[in-house]
Amino acid sequence: MVRSVVTDVKDLIATSSYIIEAAQTSIVWRAPLSLLSLFIRCGVFKSSKTFLEGGGSMRGVTQISPFSAGPMHDLVQAGAAIHLAPQPLSLFMLVGDALTSISAFHTDPKPLSLTTPIVAFRTDDAIYVEWLLHDFEAEWIRSIDGSKRIRELSNR
């Protein structure tokens, strides 16, 4: 059983990239806008297009900005489902294949850097992953389909 604590954004990005690249069937994620923007700048979602084209399923909940609209539109075009949260998000979570996860509470809306301290928990504990997935589904229901809004912003 893998359990580790990640203490900075650089390691959070590396771990998240690993989970995305290792996923075979499904990826679900929820990301505050500040973290999503950093993920985009660091190329975390680069392998997602190949994953989606190979039949993988990806669902994400976030908020959108003009900067993130283009990359999110690319994910939607590749087959990802992106919902937009009606309120700012404070919890980041990413689950690959309902087996491996990383999650962190992040309430600071300021831009992040690779050296920003953060506390994230990585695990493959089935009970914790199940709790994250349950929480994700609740957020998914509260949020709205973002494909139209993402398309509008990406065309500006």
Domain extents for the chain? 3-154
What's the token pair of residue 56? 């993988």
Residues whose CB is less than 8 angstroms from the CB of residue 2 and which lie 6 or more positions away in sequence, other chains included:
100, 122, 123, 124
pLDDT in tens, 134-149: 999 999 999 999 999 9
The answer to whether the beta carbons of residues 62 and 84 sit under 8 Å apart is yes
The answer to whether the beta carbons of residues 58 and 27 sit under 8 Å apart is yes
* Rg (the chain; Cα; Å): 14
pLDDT of residue 110: 66
Mean of the pLDDT values across residues 109-113? 69
- pLDDT category at 106 given cuts 50, 70, 90 is low
Q: Strands, DSSP E only, in 23-90?
A: 26-30, 57-62, 81-84
Instruction: Tell whether the model's pLDDT for residue 1 goes beyond 70.
Output: no
Taking the C-alpha atoms of 42, 56, 23 and 73 in order, what is their torsion angle to the nearest 10 degrees?
10
Higher pLDDT, 111 or 122: 122
Mean of the pLDDT values across residues 95-106? 92
- Residues β-bridged to residue 92: 104
- pLDDT category at 108 given cuts 50, 70, 90 is low
DSSP 43: T
pLDDT in tens, 37-93: 889 989 999 889 889 999 999 999 999 988 899 999 999 999 999 999 999 888 899
The Cα 116–Cα 28 span in angstroms is 24
Strands 26-30 and 57-62: parallel
pLDDT of residue 112: 74
The answer to whether the beta carbons of residues 58 and 81 sit under 8 Å apart is yes
pLDDT in tens, 15-49: 999 999 999 999 999 999 888 988 998 999 988 98
pLDDT of residue 3: 87
Phi and psi based region of residue 29 (left: phi greater than 0; alpha: psi -120 to 50; beta: remaining): beta
Q: Domain spanning 3-154 has what CATH number?
A: 3.30.870.10
Phi, psi of 111, deg, nearest 5? -55, 145
Mean of the pLDDT values across residues 116-128? 92
